[in-house]
Structure formats: structure tokens, C-alpha cells
Structure 1
Amino acid sequence: MSRPLPPVRLLAVALLAAASAPALATGSAAETAGTTGATAPEGDPQAAGGATTTTQATSIIVTAARTSDRLPDESGTLIFAGKLGDIAVLDDIPTVPTRNLRVALADIPGLLVSEVSNGSWASLSYRGLGEPHESWNILTLQDAVPAVPDMYSYPAGYFTPPLEAVERIEFIRGASGLLYGPQPGGAINYVLKGPRRAEGVEAEARLIAGSWDARQGYAGLAASDGTLAADGFIHYAEGDGPRRVNSDHRQTTARARAHYLGETVTATLSLDYYNARFGEPGGLSRARLAADNRDGSTARDRVRIERLAPTLAIEWQPDDATQVTARAFYSRFERESWRQAGGSFGQVTPAANVLIRQLQTFDTAGIDLRARRDFGGRGQHSVTIGVLGHTSDAPVFVDKGASNADFAGTAGALARAQRSGDTAAVFGEVKFGLGDVQIVPGFRLERIRQRVSETLDLGVGSVTGGGPGAANGPLGNRETTQTVPLYGVGVTWDAAPTLRFVANASRAFKPLLYNDGVTFQAGVDAAGTFDASYAFTLEAGLQAEPAPPLRIDASLFRVEFENQVGFLAGPLPASPPFGAVGAGGARRQNVGSMRNQGVDLALRLDLVGPEGLAKGEGTLRLSTNLQLLDATFTDGAAAGFTPQYVPGHLLRSVLAWIGKDGARAALTFTSVGNQQGADNNVADFALPGYEVFDASVEWPLAGGFTFGAGVNNLFDADYASRVRPGGGGGFDPGAPRNVFVSIGWKG
């Protein structure tokens, strides 16, 4: 696990942490004053040290300038006044190889990355609001369209666009994201590059090679005549992965788009495709992790993920005071996995055990209509209103193989379940502009119907062969319909041109998931009845720019989360309606209500640059953020315990060089405090804190070429940020030190 830091690392940590001192001091002063969020004037690309470009991002959440990393008051049909959020501008750092979210998200305070060693999905959480596994409590979007199998009933983060294609990442904190969905952990939006608006053609390409035979290729093309435009990219990645056994991956991602760029109407038709196959090396016990962090436990487990997603987006501005957007989207997700039956927590699964094949398919469609109208004598007030219709169909098929090499499941059906859901939502906000003060009340009304019906549920039978066994308890048959009102109010006060105070109070809703009450994971029991979860968040903050080189953000927050769905780790005794759970296993259920509170602090300081402490052609920027978090269960089965994945601190710092000629260099530091891996704090699941450094550089060459290189986990820290219960579960080790080189071209 985490080792003591040697002197060179202690020095680096001290230097980066010292940079947080002004933010800490400001945060303390704000706390004393009882308030805590200012929108600095937008900088231009020259002031930010960024290179000019002919492309413009078409984010539906934020359409502000590329160099902006704060939310505007309004954007399209959306209102951001009274909300706190963050933007990570990827152009400020060297190209991030696909799926290194630890680096890509380093500028977003408090967003915890629970690293998956084979990179098969994103596991993110925020402020301790639920287990990060597959990012269940955060709404994941790509260009403001849901990029998950089902945003209500199965919001798993199986898909992350290649970061080479991403211009910036936007995050709306917690329950203040009422206009995007009900998830209590907020909304994260990957904004892809384009479209090209100037006449002409541009192309780019990049090749990356790295440790463990990693290979990536990316190619993009964009063309425009000023009114009609088209663009697309294809990305391929493969490699053996950091683990010695069954850690390989192969991914293909492609996108094609056509645009109409009129004066009052823009329209985009896009088609996204993703196909990926991953080995799943399994978790390790604590002892096996300490002995060899590249070991594995499941030599034959595999997973395949496929996504096909067409989308149509239309934006219309009939006059200066009115904006209208319409979006229609569909996606076909397939998640197919093969897991060896039996096995135990952190131990090698016997080689003779047969494979269990599970196929989940998701056909999801939605339509999102929104309009914003400015009113008042100077247009200082705004109202936005929208409706969403959403539907999904998601059957499950589980079959038993006749051997450890039978991927077709020819030994017979084990389980069949039909799942479907429909949602209608109406939402709106009004911004009242009263001089330097803006007040923004909002609402969201959800009508959700969900049905899960099991038609077959048999025991696995013999782990080495033979037919499926007897019935595995009564068949599940659950249908729920809920009408859920949600509300929020935000306030901003521009006390000075470079000082803004922001406050927000919002209520969020976590719908039941399809797999609440139905589980196919070995060693994990599930309650027969689940209740939906609700969150109420209070946050107050300040945004300040005391001097041109320095910018400070600070906020205090408190979250009340009711009826959290989590898991209690074994050993657990039998208690109706549950059976006994052994060591390394878990019981999934409503574990109680929690109270999470803390502080977010962020600082950005230009050490060198046009407005920096020292003058220079480029910009040397230090950005650092710190979240201090305290959380506890206040009632329920886990009362008195600390919720899982709640580190006492999360500190991240980036020292970046942004050259005017396109040169980029970055040193990223991540420090995560101790975490619990189970809601009842069983010691076998505890995750010790850790510190990781990442370094990268990108340098322009002649003819539009660039050369890049980097080292991830620079000092080879031995750590794990993720642990899973059940068969095939255990600690998922962070990747050891690894390197990459790249060659890129743009013209």
C-alpha cells in the first residue's frame, strides 16, 4: 500500500501544498464572515497563454470562450447564475492519453477518481455521495447528451470519449444541476472539439506508444464552407495493461457529424460508435497486493462494451432575447461479460471453474426541448423552461458455460430479466437581476415508471460443470411509479468587479436502479426492497481575483443524503430476509442517511506570463485545489459509521507551462486521504491514503508536428484507490510507474 514519501517527494508536496496557503487563508476569512464564490473578467487567449484555433466547442452546457474555466451567468437556454461549477480546459496541459482521468480532472475540486486498472469504465464520485463504482451518482454527458446506458435507471460510466478529442470538461456541482438530471453527485460534460466555422479544411493525427505494449492512434478531419460543415474522428487503442494476467484492452471510438451553421439556426447531426474489449484481472487480497501489485486473480474474466448513438441537436435564436434548443437522442448499449463461477475475495479463482456469461442490452431514447427568454427594461431578467421525455428497454440474459472456455453459455440459461423505464420531466428557472444581485429559483418535476421482472432465476450449480441448479428463491417482480418534485434557489452578489459571492440550496433525487434488488454478482446479497434516495445541498462560496495573476475560489457545503443505497461488508449473520454473508462478501441495501460537510478551496496563480508575477512570452501557471470532507451516517443500518469513499482530504495541484508557440508541460500531484471501502467500515476493505505524481511535456516541431512524452506515477507509488466485494473482488491496484511518447500533426 502507500509508502512513506522519500525526501524529494516530501519537498515537492511541501511546495505544492504551500501554494494553497493563500486559498486556505481566504477560506478561513470567508468562513468567519459567514459567506463563501466572483466571476473574474474573461481573459483573452493571449493573456491565458493559449494558442489561437479555428475551431469552437459546441457545448450545450457552456458556450463560453475556450479559455474560460468559470461558468458564465447564461449560456444558450441555460442559466448558471447562482450555481457553482468548474471547467477543466485540456488545452492548458499536454495531450492526456486516453482514460487518465486522474490528470484530466485535476482542476475540478473534490471529484474523486477511483482508478480502474484495466480502464474499462470511469468510476467517479463527489463529496462522498455514494460508491464511485461506474460513476452511478454522477450524470455523464457528451456535448450535453447522456452518454450512459440509462440516465435514470442505469447511469453507469461505461463510455468516456478519447481525451485527444475533448476540448474541455465541465462539471456542475451536486444538486444544483437540476436542469440536467436528478443525480445528487452533479453533472459532468465532456465537450468535444468543433465544429469548424471558418471556410477551409483542417486535419490532425496522433500516435502514442507506451508501457505494457500500449498503442494508440487518433485521426480527425474537419471541413467547412462557413455555413455547411462536417467533422469526424477515429481513435484506436490497445495494449497489455498494467497487470501480468488478463489485463489487455482493445478500443475503437469513432464519431461523424454534419452541421448547418446559419445566422439564427444551427443544427448538428452526429453518430457515435464505440467498441471495446477488456480483460478483467480481478481484485487482490491485502496480502497479495503487498506482495505483487501486478498480480491477478481471474485469468479468464472478460467484458465487452459496445455503443451506437445517433443524436440531432438544433439551436434557434429567433431574436436577441430568445433562445430555443431541441435535442433528440438514441443509444444502443451492449454490456457483455464472462466471469468464472465461484472464487473468493482477493484470491485466485480455480482454473476449472466454468464461465458465466451475462448480456445486458439497453435501448434508450429521449427528447429534450428548452427555451430561454430575457425580459425587463434592460433584459436583466431571464426565464428558462424545458421538458424531457425518456424511455429505455433493458433485458438481461445470464447463461452458464460448459467449461472455462465456453463463452457461448451452452450449459443452459441461469437467469432472465426484463427491465424497462419511462420518465417525463418538466423543469424551469427564473433569474431576477436586481443590480449587483441575481436571485434564481428553480424547479424540476419528475414522473418515473420503472419495471423489473425476472422470468428465470436458477442457482449456478456446480462450479466446474453440470447443469444449472435449483430455483434461487422467488422470482423478482417490481414495478414502481413515482412523482418527484425537486427545487432549488441560487443567489449571486457581485460585491466588486473581481469579487462575487454565490449561494445555492437544492434538492436532488437518486432513482432506484435496475439492479436494486436483483444482483448477479457472486458473493453479494441484495435486499428485496429498496427505497429511492434524496439529497439536500447547501453551499456558499466566493470567487475572487485580488490581483491579475491570482484567482481564488472557496466554498463551504453541507449535504443531507437520505436512504443511501450502499453495501455492508461481511461477515454478516443470517437475518430475515437475508442469508449469512461471509468475509469478503457484501449485502447491498439501503444503509441509512448521511451528513456530509466540508470546504472546497481552489487557487490559480500565474507565476510567469503577460499578467504574471514575472513577465514572459508564455505562462507558467500553478493551480491547486483542496477538499476537506467530513461525513457520517446519522441513522439506519450504518449509523455512526463513515460512508465509503470519503477521504478526509483530496488535494491536487498542477504546475503547467503554456507556451505561445504551442509548447506545453505539466507536473500533476494528487494526494488522497484514508478511505473506507464499505459502509460498515470493515477493516478488510479499508483503503490507505496515497500520493501520486504525473509529468508530461509536448513540444512543437516544424511542419505542424509535435512531440510529446510523459511519465505517470513518477515515483512508482504502491497504492490502491478501489476495492470491490464478492467473487473476483478485492483491491484494484493503481498502475505502477509507466511512460509514453507521442507524435502529433495538425494542418
Structure 2
Amino acid sequence: MAGDTRSGSLPGMTKFMAGRLLYILTLGLWCLSAAGQSSLNLQVVSPNGDPIHDARVEIPKRGLVAYSDARGRVSFTWNDSYGSSARVIVLPDFYPFLDTTVPVSDELIVLPLSESTGNLGEVVVTARRDTFNRSRLQAIEGTAIYAGKKSEVIRPSESALNLANNNAREIFSKVTGMNVWEGDESGIQLNIGGRGLNPNRASNFNVRQNGYDISPDALGYPESYYTPPAEAVERIEVVKGAASLQYGTQFGGLINFKMKGAPQIEGWEVLNRTTGGSFGLFNQFTSLGWRKGKVGTYVYGNFRRGNGWRPNSDYNSFNGFAQIEYNFSEHSKLIGEYTHLSYLAKQPGGLDDNMFEADPRQSNRERNWFGLNWNIFALRFSQKIGNDELNARLYGLYASRNALGFRNYRPTTEDPGNVERELITGEFQNMGLEVRYLNRFNTTYGPWATLYGVRAYAARNNSQQGLGSTGSDADFTFIDSEENLQSDYVYPNDNLSFFAEQLMTFGTRWTVTPGIRVEYINSRSDGYYREVQRDLAGNIIFNETFPGGLSRERSFVLAGVGVEYQLTESAQIYFNATQNFRAITYSDIHIVNPSFRIDENIEDERGYSIDLGIRQTSGDRWTYDVSAFLLNYDNRIGEVAQFDTSTFRIVSYRTNIGQALIYGLESYTSYTYLYRPEQRISSNIFLNASFVNSVYLKSALPQVEGNQVEFAPHINIKTGIEGTWKTWRGRLQLTYLSDQFTDAANDIDGGAPAVTGLIPAFMVMDFGLSYSAGRWQFETGVNNLMNEAYFTRRATGYPGPGIIPSPGRSWYVGVQVRL
């Protein structure tokens, strides 16, 4: 095992960051004086006075939307110019909706709901709420500022989706521009990208759960091996590239899974969901919530197994989550959380183009395995101080992943079954602390808010690669001999960042939000790789180790600004421009792969992103979010097919391709053409369409300049029709993506390894239906309704290499009971 390395001090950074923060502080406090502003504080309660959690509350005239908290409360910032009264619409579960007008006052206004006219316990979900299962983040939520940013919020449980399999194609169907890689039928690993960003394990996004990181190394290895089960998720928050100032430097932005929690009133609550389906699918999800006095708890267990669409695709997983909440007072609470995932799956391997055309279900890999053990710990503290709020998150991860199998650079080469398998192991440890403080105050121009934040993060990861056993089981141990360990590296990574944003309102229409992020990153690697040569008899004739290491210490400042203009009572125009940065990852610099080579001089990526759009999220019939975007990507890391003179093979070569420009239009539109609340019936259609152009403006590589950027299909459409009638819900969705390339050279033919080449256009349909009766809910659906044969991914390594076919037609049936 190679030794660990540690970084030194932060040279010159202390004075630099202090100066920048002083500048932001001065900016945030100028023109401080009294202004006409108040709060509209509401509480949603049941007919007997119990608080109602997670009810949607709208103020349609102002275009404001929020969801009630555990105490049933919602708070809106209210300018005197808005008027002395407000029309409020409440859309709860279990009760009919409420439409009322209330006087504006700093005092708490209680909104009692009426009893359901249906059967006792019947879930009375209005059609209007289903129409709005997609929304956006408010200008300020907790200790985060989202004004002027392109944000999208998805509530998976409010549509008839395949939640048991975490079907990302359905779950993210209303998030604009998302490109989904498919093939992982377990739903454990999230593979999504957008705007020409590689979808591999969502590595171009900062993926979080309840606001804290869940990847092995947020900067050095940001791949999402763990994805929370959709059945446990309250909502998914997506913020595009402008999130780089608050949540990291990445080009993609933020994906945050906000988990369900303890019930809002004293007592206990049990939810049990059982789902079965095609190819041996069985999914069991059980959760228990309890609250008494100042203490609340929430735990769940999720067991999932299946045989998979292709042979050699068996999988099983267990995911557990435990949360305990203690409320010191009405304004102060501490939450502790623990997440565990254990996962084991067979991997059927990749195909080349001819194999896919002949039979996309075939597999010639019977001894390939992949395993995960994931553990995440977190403490979250929040404190309200008048109108201000403090939030601190302390979290850590201890995890491992193992990949084992026969991996030849030609997918057509069958596993002989009597040779050692290749084994790659990874052990991950990280810890982070993020503290945020939001200061609200009034000025002569309107209500302002300043966000200050600091983040300290350290990761210590280890990766080994060598030869494993000759067996066929999931034996993740190396053969005990020196020459069989091909590489051994440790990857220390330290990160310190400060960020600040200043929200400024000017009158009732304009909002301007400038911000900066000061970043310090120290990435290192230390270890060796081994070269072994044998004669025809298998005797070792050459055995030598080559030490290798990397130390890159850098500091820089990112800046950005967001602007929002209230066009009408419910529509806004928004603009943001933000700098982005992506550090080289450990998978970019060290790997031994017969189909893959890496440039030793690979460098970090830099660039900026711009959004300009118009949106309306609370109209009576229409909702829309239409925006133009531009992403300038310098030193973009990508892959090209290259001839390896040492092995006389075509390999995929990863390097800095050059400067890429990606631009286009992203739009989401929904129209409710049928809405009769008195009959509890409605239907709406939605269209999520993105049109993207991309080009490499500069490149030192031959035959790249002027090419289209990989993973950037010109057309990306998700469209569908949704309807509700009483307690029935139905949904039909169509997904279409045009052709896309997988390498910068724009190769069409994948050749023998099939790791590069074209991903052809495809169209796939999904159907879902659910019915609620009292405490019970019944679900069914069909994915890939027309049994389309297609693929979305060409893998350079595991689970390939080669084409990874998407599953064919499958069905599922589920039942849920709530106690």
C-alpha cells in the first residue's frame, strides 16, 4: 500500500479570501435602512386543528408557491405594494383543496381545511396538484438563494411512475434537457447529464441528499454510486450551472434529494409498498415515522432484487436510512442521519454493433460482478435568529466498491472460464463541514438578503487493480502474489471554499443577485503501477514497478450574477451568468484498461454558463419555462479513438480535447385542458423539449475542430398526457432522442471494441396507472411499451466495454398501505 500524503498550508489564501469576503460584506450592508416589507405567515390545519405537512400553498396573483412544513406553516415575504389582502390556494393530500382570501398581517393566519366528502380515509388529491408536480425553488429557501437561477423541483410520488425501479427516464422526464444513460436495471446508480455533459454516474453534477454530499469524493471522484430510492424521496431539487457558486464548481449544477421525515403530528405512521414485475423484479419498501414531544424519528428499509432483461444480470440490494430529530425550541433543531447501501450485481458485459443487431439480449460474460457497500453519516443543525437563519452540516462517508470479471477489449471474445479475472477495488473515506448564514434586512429599495458560507472538505481514497480468482463467484480478493497487483494508489484531496451571494430587490419587479466563490483545492496521488511480461509458457520474464504521483494545488475565484424581472403577476424573466470549473478526477488520471488510454498531461476544465429565460409556474391553465442557454467549455476532457502502437489496437484515448461551445433552447410547457374540481377530474399534456447545437471551436487534435460535441443530441423530447379522475391517476409518456456521438472525432462505427461510435436515435414509451382506496393504493405500469430495441451508452470499462443495451418491454404491479 502506498503511503498517504498531506497538504501544506494555504499560501497567500488567507489575506486574499478575507479581502474578498470583506468586499461582499460591505456590498451587502450598503443602503441599509427601513423599508415597507412584512411577512405573510400561514398555517394549514386539518378540521380538528392538527397541522398539515407538505400541502401546496399558492398565491397565484404573485406567482408564489411553497409547501407547508412539519408544523403546517408557510411564510412569504410581502411588500406593502402587493396590497392588503391575498388570494391563497391550498392543495393538500387527504382533503379537498381550499381557495380563500386572507388579510395580510405579521400575525399567524390559520387556514382550516374541510372534511372530505368521499369515503373515510380516501386520498382526495385534486387534479390541479398533479398538474403541478413540477415546480421551481423560491427566491430564498432556508439558507439558500435561488433568485435568478434556473431551478426545477420534481415530486416523484405525485405521478404514476415506476418508483420501485428508480426509473430515471420517468422520474426526470420534466427536468429540461436531461440525457439519461440506461442499462442499470436496479436503479441504484444514477446516470444523467445534459447540455453535452457526460451522464456517467451524474459526475458533472453535485449530487446531494438532504443538502450534503453522497459521492466518494465531491471533487476528485464525483461519481454517484448510490441513489436514494424514489419511494423515500419527498422531492428532487435541480439547479443548473449557476449552482456552482453555492454548491461547488461543476458545470452541471446541483441535484439534491430531499428525503421524507418524521410525521408532522404526534403519533406514528407506517408505509409499506410491495412491487413485483418482469424479469424477477421484487421490491419491498417499509418506512416507520414517529413523533413525541420534541423528538421525531423516521426509518426505512428497502430490499430489491431482480434477474434483469439480459442473462447474467441478477442483482439484489438493501438500502436503509435512519433519522432522529430533536427540537430544542420552535426555532432550533438538530437532526442526525445514517444511510446504508449494500449492493451486488452480475454484469452481462457489452456488445459490439454486430452483436447488438443480431440479438441485443445476448451475453457472453458469466463471471463479472459488481459490489457496493455505502455508509453515510450526517448531523444537521439549524437555528433561526429573528429573520436570519444559521445552518451547519457535518457529514462523512465510509464506502467501498468492487468490480470483478473478464474484460477483453473485444466484446466478441468469450470468457474462457478458466483464467484469472480482473479485479478493481476502491475504498472511500471523506468528511465535510458546511456552514451557512442568511441575513435578511430591509433597505430603501426593498427587502435584501446576504448569504455567507464556508465549506471544509477532505477525502482519503484508495484504489487497487490486479488479478482475482479463476472462479465464477463474487470473490473480491486479489490473488496473493506480488506480481498480480497491477496498481495501487492513494488519493488524498483537501478543499476549502468560501462563498457569498447578495440578493437585492429594487421595487416589486427587479431582483439582482451577484455572488462569488473562493476555492482552494489540493489534489494528490501516490502509488505505483506494475508491468509484468510472460513467455509463451507463462513464466515471468519481466516484472517491474513504476512509481507515480501527482500533486496539484490551486486556488481561484468564481463569480456570477443572477437577474430576475417580474413580468406579470405570475411570470418572470430570468438571467444568470456564472463561471464554472471541473477538477480532473482520479478516473481521468489512473486506470489499467485494455480498451482505454489516458493523457499523462491532462488538465482541469474551465468555462462559464449563461441562461436567459421566461417562466410561469402557477398559471390557471398554462405553466412553462423556456430558456436559451450557452455553455463555453475550455479544456474539455473527452475521448477519441486512437491507434495504440504498443498493443496494435484501437483504444479510447482520454485527453483535453479543446474548447467546446454548446448552446440551445430548453423548454417545458404544460397545459391543463380539462379541469373540473367539483367532479375531481382533470387532464393535462406536457412537452419537455430541448434543441442543442454544439461545436469544438479549438483543438490540438487532428480532425476534431468543427466537430459536434459528444453526448449532445440535437433533439431531446419527453412529452406525455396525464389525467386524474377521483382517486385514479394515469400517465402516458413518450421519449425521443436524436443521434448523438460518444467521442470528439464523431466516429460512426464502433469497431471491434465498440467503446466509441454513434448512439442512434430512439423513441420509447412508458405507461403508468394508480388507484387509491382508503389506506390502500394500487399501481401498475409498462415500461418500453412498444418493446423498442435501442441503447443509450457505449461503456469504456465496466459494465462493458461496449454497447450496453437498454431493457425491453417490462411491466410492474404494486400495492401500498399506509397505517
The interval holding the TM-score normalised by the smaller chain is: 0.7 to 0.9
1:172, 1:188 within 8 Å by CA — same for their partners in 2?
yes
Paired position in structure 2 for 1:673 = 738
One of 93, 96, 105 as aligned partner of 1:51: 93
Paired position in structure 2 for 1:123 = 191
The 3 A distance-change label for structure 1 pair 140 and 43 is closer
Paired position in structure 2 for 1:716 = 787
Q: Superposed, which structure 2 residues align to 1:677-692 within 5 Å?
A: 677-683=742-748, 684=750, 685-692=757-764
1:218, 1:233 within 8 Å by CA — same for their partners in 2?
yes
2:407, 2:801 within 8 Å by CA — same for their partners in 1?
no
Q: Does 2:626 align with 1:626?
A: no
Q: Does 2:679 align with 1:607?
A: no
Paired position in structure 2 for 1:201 = 268
* Structure 1 position 197, deviation (Å): 2.0
| 587-596 or 377-386: bigger deviation | 377-386
3-state DSSP of counterpart to 1:380: strand
Paired position in structure 1 for 2:37 = none
Paired position in structure 1 for 2:99 = none
1:340, 1:356 within 8 Å by CA — same for their partners in 2?
yes
Offset from partner CA, 1:355-379 (integer Å, 9 cap, x none): 1222101101000000000112486
Please list every run of 5 or more consecutive structure 2 residues that lacks an aligned counterpart in the other structure: 1-60, 69-87, 96-112, 114-131, 751-756
1:342, 1:522 within 8 Å by CA — same for their partners in 2?
yes
3-state DSSP of counterpart to 1:358: strand
One of 534, 541, 553 as aligned partner of 2:625: 553
One of 223, 228, 233 as aligned partner of 1:166: 233
* In 1, Cα distance between equivalents of 2:63 and 2:673: 18
* Structure 1 position 573, deviation (Å): 5.6
1:490, 1:502 within 8 Å by CA — same for their partners in 2?
yes
* Structure 1 position 84, deviation (Å): 0.7
* Structure 1 position 471, deviation (Å): 3.5
Q: Does 2:554 align with 1:470?
A: no
One of 426, 431, 445 as aligned partner of 2:498: 426
Paired position in structure 1 for 2:388 = 322
One of 244, 253, 268 as aligned partner of 2:319: 253
Paired position in structure 1 for 2:403 = 337
The 3 A distance-change label for structure 1 pair 402 and 219 is closer
* In 1, Cα distance between equivalents of 2:663 and 2:184: 30
* Structure 1 position 296, deviation (Å): 1.7
One of 669, 680, 689 as aligned partner of 1:617: 680
Q: Does 2:765 align with 1:693?
A: yes
Paired position in structure 2 for 1:23 = none
Q: CA RMSD in A?
A: 2.5
1:340, 1:404 within 8 Å by CA — same for their partners in 2?
no
The AA in structure 2 aligned to 1:487 is A
The AA in structure 1 aligned to 2:550 is R
Paired position in structure 1 for 2:778 = 707
The AA in structure 2 aligned to 1:522 is P
1:372, 1:384 within 8 Å by CA — same for their partners in 2?
yes
Paired position in structure 1 for 2:153 = 87
* Structure 1 position 609, deviation (Å): 2.5
The AA in structure 2 aligned to 1:447 is Y
Paired position in structure 2 for 1:59 = none
The structure that has the greater radius of gyration is 2
2:133, 2:154 within 8 Å by CA — same for their partners in 1?
no
Offset from partner CA, 1:633-679 (integer Å, 9 cap, x none): 11122322212111111111232224554x32211211111110222
Paired position in structure 1 for 2:817 = 745
The AA in structure 1 aligned to 2:746 is N
* Structure 1 position 535, deviation (Å): 2.2
* In 1, Cα distance between equivalents of 2:618 and 2:318: 46
1:285, 1:347 within 8 Å by CA — same for their partners in 2?
no
* In 1, Cα distance between equivalents of 2:535 and 2:324: 54
3-state DSSP of counterpart to 1:178: helix
* In 2, Cα distance between equivalents of 1:286 and 1:182: 37
The 3 A distance-change label for structure 1 pair 153 and 466 is farther
* Structure 1 position 407, deviation (Å): 4.5
| 110-119 or 671-680: bigger deviation | 110-119
3-state DSSP of counterpart to 2:356: helix
* In 2, Cα distance between equivalents of 1:548 and 1:44: 18
Paired position in structure 2 for 1:270 = 337
2:244, 2:579 within 8 Å by CA — same for their partners in 1?
no
Offset from partner CA, 1:679-724 (integer Å, 9 cap, x none): 211112101011111111111234x122111100001011001112
* In 2, Cα distance between equivalents of 1:467 and 1:240: 41
1:39, 1:544 within 8 Å by CA — same for their partners in 2?
no
The AA in structure 1 aligned to 2:739 is N
* In 1, Cα distance between equivalents of 2:534 and 2:314: 30
The 3 A distance-change label for structure 1 pair 106 and 464 is farther
* Structure 1 position 546, deviation (Å): 9.5
Q: Superposed, which structure 2 residues align to 1:25-64 within 5 Å?
A: 40-42=63-65, 51-52=93-94
* Structure 1 position 341, deviation (Å): 4.6
1:401, 1:411 within 8 Å by CA — same for their partners in 2?
no
* In 1, Cα distance between equivalents of 2:535 and 2:94: 63
3-state DSSP of counterpart to 1:530: coil
Offset from partner CA, 1:504-547 (integer Å, 9 cap, x none): 00001101112222113222011111110012111100013695
Please list every run of 5 or more consecutive structure 1 residues that lacks an aligned counterpart in the other structure: 1-37, 55-65
Paired position in structure 2 for 1:458 = 531
- TM-score when scaled to structure 1? 0.87
2:605, 2:635 within 8 Å by CA — same for their partners in 1?
yes
The 3 A distance-change label for structure 1 pair 241 and 374 is same
The 3 A distance-change label for structure 1 pair 481 and 269 is same
Offset from partner CA, 1:397-420 (integer Å, 9 cap, x none): 223135244642215322111111
| 298-307 or 537-546: bigger deviation | 537-546
* In 1, Cα distance between equivalents of 2:576 and 2:504: 15
Paired position in structure 2 for 1:442 = 515
The 3 A distance-change label for structure 1 pair 52 and 346 is farther
1:176, 1:488 within 8 Å by CA — same for their partners in 2?
no
| 665-674 or 714-723: bigger deviation | 665-674
Paired position in structure 2 for 1:485 = 557
* In 2, Cα distance between equivalents of 1:532 and 1:39: 43
1:176, 1:505 within 8 Å by CA — same for their partners in 2?
no
Q: Superposed, which structure 2 residues align to 1:388-407 within 5 Å?
A: 388-405=455-472, 407=476
* Structure 1 position 187, deviation (Å): 0.9
1:427, 1:444 within 8 Å by CA — same for their partners in 2?
yes
Q: Does 2:588 align with 1:516?
A: yes
* In 1, Cα distance between equivalents of 2:557 and 2:290: 45
Q: Superposed, which structure 2 residues align to 1:235-250 within 5 Å?
A: 235-244=302-311, 246-250=312-316
One of 651, 662, 671 as aligned partner of 2:717: 651
* Structure 1 position 346, deviation (Å): 5.4
The 3 A distance-change label for structure 1 pair 464 and 414 is farther
* In 2, Cα distance between equivalents of 1:550 and 1:392: 46
The AA in structure 1 aligned to 2:213 is P
Q: Does 2:481 align with 1:408?
A: no
2:463, 2:488 within 8 Å by CA — same for their partners in 1?
yes
The AA in structure 1 aligned to 2:732 is L
Paired position in structure 2 for 1:141 = 208
The 3 A distance-change label for structure 1 pair 460 and 341 is farther
Relative contact order higher in (CA < 8 Å, ≥ 6 apart): 1
Tell me which protein shows more strand as a share of its residues. 2
One of 644, 650, 653 as aligned partner of 1:587: 653
The 3 A distance-change label for structure 1 pair 44 and 273 is closer
* In 1, Cα distance between equivalents of 2:407 and 2:480: 13
Paired position in structure 1 for 2:126 = none
* In 2, Cα distance between equivalents of 1:729 and 1:541: 40
* Structure 1 position 551, deviation (Å): 1.2
One of 356, 361, 367 as aligned partner of 1:294: 361
Identity of aligned residues (%): 21
* Structure 1 position 160, deviation (Å): 0.6
The 3 A distance-change label for structure 1 pair 699 and 726 is closer
